Amino acid sequence: MNIVVIIKQTPDTETVIRLAPDNKRIVTSDIKWIINPYDEFAIEAALRLKEKHGGTVTVISFGAQRVVEALRTALAMGADDAVLIDDPQMRDADFLRVTRALVAAAKEKNPDIIFIGSRTVDYDQGQRGAILAEMLGWPHFALAISMESDGKDITIERPIEGGKVTLKAPLPVLVTFGGSHAVWNPRYASLPGIMKAKKKPLAVKKLTDLGLDPADFSPDKARIRITSLELPPQRKAGKIIDGGLDTSGKARELVKLLREEARVI
C-alpha cells in the first residue's frame, strides 16, 4: 500500500505572534517550528496502517529549507521517504496553487491513500485536504477521530455538531485528521529512529521537476491575497471580585455583574 502523508511546518502553538512592519507578514525570526499537530496525527495513523498492511509511507511538504527538519522528524517517527517542494516561486501562491503542486508530488508516488491534518495551526484555513480530494476526484473523509482499513475499504468516524458520522468507501480515499493528542497519541521519534532517518531518501524538488510551470505560481496569478494583518484588540485584565466578601458573597456579586453589567445571563 502506498501511503502519502502531507505535512506542513508551523510555528509552535506556544508562539506569541508579532507582526512585521509591513503588517502583511508575521515576524518569523525567533519562532520555534514544529510539525503541524494535526499532521502529526496523520503521520501516526499512516504508520499504524503500514504496520498492519505493509507498504511505504511517503511524507511530502513544501516551503523553505528549514522544513527539512520537519521531514526528518517524520522519517525518524518511521516514514520511509520524504519529498520537499522548495521553490521560491511558490512563496506567495494561494491555497489552490500550492495544493496543485502537492497533488503533482503525491501523484508521483501512485498513492492508494493520502493523509493530512484537518487544519494547520497557522493559517487555520482547514481546506487543503478538501482541495486535494477535489483535484484528485477522490472522496474526502474529514476530521477523522478513528480509522480502520482492511487494505481495500476504509471506515472512519468523524464528529459533526452534536453528533458523529461513520463513513465508508473503497480506496483511494483522502483522510484529514481531527481529534486531539489524546485521540491519536502520536509517537515520539526514538534515538535509533533519528539515526536511521539520516540515511532515508529526502528529495528536494522545484516546480519544474513536477512538470509544473512556475509562471502559473507568480503572485499576480493568485485568486485571493492577504491585504493586511492585525492583532486582536488587547483584552484588559478586568476586576477581581473580592471586597472582603466570603465565598457566597463573591458568587452573589459575580451573578449580579453578569446579569446587570455584562447582561450575559
Residue 99 makes contact with another protein by CB under 8 A: yes
Residue 91 makes contact with another protein by CB under 8 A: no
Burial letters 27-66, b for 16+ CB under 10 A, else e: eeeebebbbbbbbbbbbbbbbebbeeeebebbbbbbbeee
Within 10 A of 12 (CB to CB), how many other CB atoms are there?
11
The window from 13-21, 58-66, 72-80, 197-205 that contacts another protein (CB under 8 A) reads: 13-21
Residues 17-36 that bind another protein (CB under 8 A): 17, 19, 26
C-alpha span between 103 and 80 (Å, rounded): 19
Residue 188 makes contact with another protein by CB under 8 A: no
Residue 257 makes contact with another protein by CB under 8 A: yes
Residue 238 makes contact with another protein by CB under 8 A: yes
CB 116 within 8 A of CB 39: yes
Residue selected from 22, 65, 192, 264 as contacting another protein according to rule CB under 8 A: 264
Beta-ladder partners of 61: 84
C-alpha span between 179 and 165 (Å, rounded): 14
The window from 54-62, 73-81, 209-217, 248-256 that contacts another protein (CB under 8 A) reads: 248-256
SS3 call for 98: helix
Output the smallest distance, CB 95 to another protein, in A.
6
Give the residue with the Cβ less far from another protein, 191 or 264: 264
SS3 call for 147: strand
Residues 46-85 that bind another protein (CB under 8 A): none
Residues 216-235 that bind another protein (CB under 8 A): 222-232, 235
CB 93 within 8 A of CB 58: no
Give the residue with the Cβ less far from another protein, 54 or 261: 261
CB 207 within 8 A of CB 169: no
- Count of residues near another protein by CB under 8 A: 85
Q: Residue 162 burial by CB count (10 A; 0-12/13-18/19+): exposed, middle or buried?
A: exposed
Residues 120-149 that bind another protein (CB under 8 A): 121-131, 133-135, 139-143, 145
Give the residue with the Cβ less far from another protein, 158 or 205: 158
CB 4 within 8 A of CB 113: yes
Give the residue with the Cβ less far from another protein, 110 or 228: 228
Give the residue with the Cβ less far from another protein, 138 or 197: 138
SS3 call for 197: helix
Output the smallest distance, CB 188 to another protein, in A.
15
Binding mask 159-178 vs another protein (x if CB under 8 A, - otherwise)? xxxxxxxxxxxx--x-----
CB 193 within 8 A of CB 74: no
Output the smallest distance, CB 110 to another protein, in A.
19
Q: Which residues contact 226 (CB under 8 A, 6 or more apart)?
A: 24
Give the residue with the Cβ less far from another protein, 110 or 166: 166
